[in-house]
């Protein structure tokens, strides 16, 4: 992967992370459960750290982090469309799990491509570990509200 390709790829991550900061901040203000509200608020802070570490990497590579509206619009459309079609906690948790899962897949794919750059790979790994813990937490919440089938 050359520098231009890496910059383009990192910028996609930058946008995905920005989207998650925004989404979790909004969600934290709409849920009633105090534990869930605080968790979403904290996760938004962690996603903000990802925005920063990816943004800084882009700058270190001589690039400029940029918001790509054409990239974010379809994701936003899908997420907010689904939330208005099927409002409720289960839908919200399922969307978050899907986003975290997708982020993990993307991080893993990029890690495999940049494995020679240990510093970059480490940063991506650490973000991936955060996404994994978010996914696990949301999945546990979803299990807690989903009726058990016998």
Residue 123 in the binding site for Fe ion (CB under 5 A): no
The span from the CA of 134 to the CA of 50, in Å, is 13
Q: Where are the alpha helices (DSSP H) in 31-117?
A: 34-60, 69-85, 89-113
Q: Which residues within the stretch 81-110 sit at the binding site for Fe ion (CB under 5 A)?
A: 100
Q: Which stretch binds Fe ion (CB under 5 A): 6-14, 26-34, 47-55, 81-89?
A: 47-55
Closest CA to 95 of 29, 139, 50: 139
Count of CB atoms situated within 10 Å of the CB of 6: 19
> How far does Cα 78 stand from its chain's mean position?
15
Contact 21, 51 (CB under 8 A): yes
Q: Which residues within the stretch 16-35 sit at the binding site for Fe ion (CB under 5 A)?
A: 17
- The least distance separating Fe ion from the CB of residue 148, rounded to whole angstroms, comes to 27
Residue 50 in the binding site for Fe ion (CB under 5 A): yes
By CB under 5 A, name the one of 10, 27, 39, 47 that touches Fe ion: 47
By CB under 5 A, name the one of 19, 93, 131, 138 that touches Fe ion: 131
Which residues are at the interface with Fe ion (CB under 5 A)? 17, 47, 50, 100, 131, 134
């Amino acid at each position: 992967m050359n520098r231009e390709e890496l910059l383009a790829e990192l910028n996609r991550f930058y946008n995905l992370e920005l989207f998650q900061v925004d989404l979790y901040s909004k969600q934290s203000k709409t849920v009633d459960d105090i534990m869930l509200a605080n968790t979403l608020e904290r996760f938004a802070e962690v996603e903000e750290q990802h925005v920063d570490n990816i943004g800084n990497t882009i700058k270190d590579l001589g690039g400029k982090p940029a918001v790509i509206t054409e990239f974010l619009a379809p994701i936003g459309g899908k997420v907010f469309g689904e939330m208005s079609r099927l409002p409720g906690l289960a839908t919200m948790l399922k969307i978050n799990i899907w986003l975290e899962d997708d982020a993990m897949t993307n991080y893993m794919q990029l890690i495999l491509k940049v494995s020679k750059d240990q510093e970059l790979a480490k940063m991506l790994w650490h973000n991936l570990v955060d996404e994994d813990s978010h996914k696990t937490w949301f999945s546990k919440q979803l299990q807690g509200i989903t009726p058990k089938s016998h």
